[in-house]
Amino acid sequence: GENVEQHPSTLSVQEGDSAVIKCTYSDSASNYFPWYKQELGKGPQLIIDIRSNVGEKKDQRIAVTLNKTAKHFSLHITETQPEDSAVYFCAATPSGGYQKVTFGTGTKLQVIP
Amino acid sequence: DAMVIQNPRYQVTQFGKPVTLSCSQTLNHNVMYWYQQKSSQAPKLLFHYYDKDFNNEADTPDNFQSRRPNTSFCFLDIRSPGLGDAAMYLCATAPGGWKSNTEAFFGQGTRLTVV
């Protein structure tokens, strides 16, 4: 099955700085890579996703890059704000049928005002 | 508007006393999932339904069962909760389909405490 590794497990940045979270996956059949943000006591919410036919995707302050050859993908948050503080999970899903979301281990991001 | 609704948000149950958590969706999605998330860990998939087809993860304990009486509702039954089953339980849905790679929608979760 798919195995997703995520680093770092915790990340502290000053407000306004950038934050980068990196993930690797094992199953070359995976072709959809969502990123979820989970605030304390709530369910994960999708913030951005990327498909394997795309190398980079950007949505305002958030961007995701994908290197299929190396099986790496990363989340980039620029101009961080205190409300960005949360746990972020990367995930990978295989093609076809339906999503079976395999999550990374999570990164707790703290943005210091 | 909430699209995946979990009830209750908080559940306290006694050791060994059966408990049922519920999930409903307004998205008409084919796929419904149950995840277990313990403190500071990633959500762990317990099982999922594709329509009425039930798919159990290999390492999901027999103590956990699920029912999906119709498209909108799915239940998680814990037959004899142990202290180790205290966790957040997350329900999620996805459209499904052979060409589908779209997002999974999560509910807010049910925090289960076992006393």
pLDDT tens-digit profile of B30-61? 999 999 999 889 999 999 999 999 989 889 99
Cβ–Cβ below 8 Å for B111 and A41:
yes
pLDDT at residue A4 above 70? yes
> Parallel, antiparallel, or unpaired for β A102-103 and A86-94?
antiparallel
* Burial of residue B58, with CB atoms counted within 10 A of its CB: 0-12 exposed, 13-18 middle, 19 or more buried: exposed
Cβ–Cβ below 8 Å for B103 and A41:
no
For A96: left if phi > 0, alpha if psi spans -120 to 50, otherwise beta; the answer is: left
Distance from CA of A111 to the nearest CA of B (A): 18
- pLDDT category at B100 given cuts 50, 70, 90 is low
pLDDT of residue B98: 54
Per CB-CB distance under 8 Å, the chain B contacts of A27 are none
Residue with tokens 């999503």: A99
| CA–CA gap between residue A107 and residue B39 (Å, rounded) | 13
Contact B91, B23 (CB under 8 A): yes
- pLDDT category at B114 given cuts 50, 70, 90 is very high
Give the nearest chain B residue to A52 (CA atoms).
Answer: B101
Token pair for A33? 């890579």
Contact B107, A43 (CB under 8 A): yes
Averaged pLDDT of chain B: 91
Question: What is the residue-wise DSSP string for A35-86?
Answer: EEEE-TTS--EEEEEEETT-SEEEETTEEEEEETTTTEEEEEE-S--GGG-E
Distance from CA of B86 to the nearest CA of A (A): 14
pLDDT of residue A6: 97
Mutate to test the interface with A, among B101, B111, B113 (most CBs of A within 10 A): B101
> Parallel, antiparallel, or unpaired for β B64-67 and B73-78?
antiparallel
Per CB-CB distance under 8 Å, the chain A contacts of B41 are 105-106
Cβ–Cβ below 8 Å for B100 and A31:
no
pLDDT at residue A35 above 60? yes
Distance from CA of A106 to the nearest CA of B (A): 6
Residue B15, C-beta contacts closer than 8 angstroms, at least 6 positions apart: B81, B82, B83, B114, B115
More confident residue, A95 or A22: A22
- pLDDT category at A1 given cuts 50, 70, 90 is confident
Which candidate from B45, B98, B102 shows the least CB-CB separation from A96? B98
Contact B31, B50 (CB under 8 A): yes
| CA–CA gap between residue A32 and residue A75 (Å, rounded) | 14
Express as a percent the part of chain A with pLDDT over 70.
Answer: 96
- pLDDT category at B94 given cuts 50, 70, 90 is confident
Distance from CA of A44 to the nearest CA of B (A): 6
Contact A107, A9 (CB under 8 A): yes
pLDDT at residue B99 above 70? no
pLDDT of residue A71: 94
Sign of CA dihedral B111, A108, A38, B52: negative
Residue pLDDT, tens place only, A44-97: 999 999 988 889 999 999 999 999 999 999 999 999 999 999 999 999 987 655
Cβ–Cβ below 8 Å for B90 and A44:
yes
- pLDDT category at B102 given cuts 50, 70, 90 is low
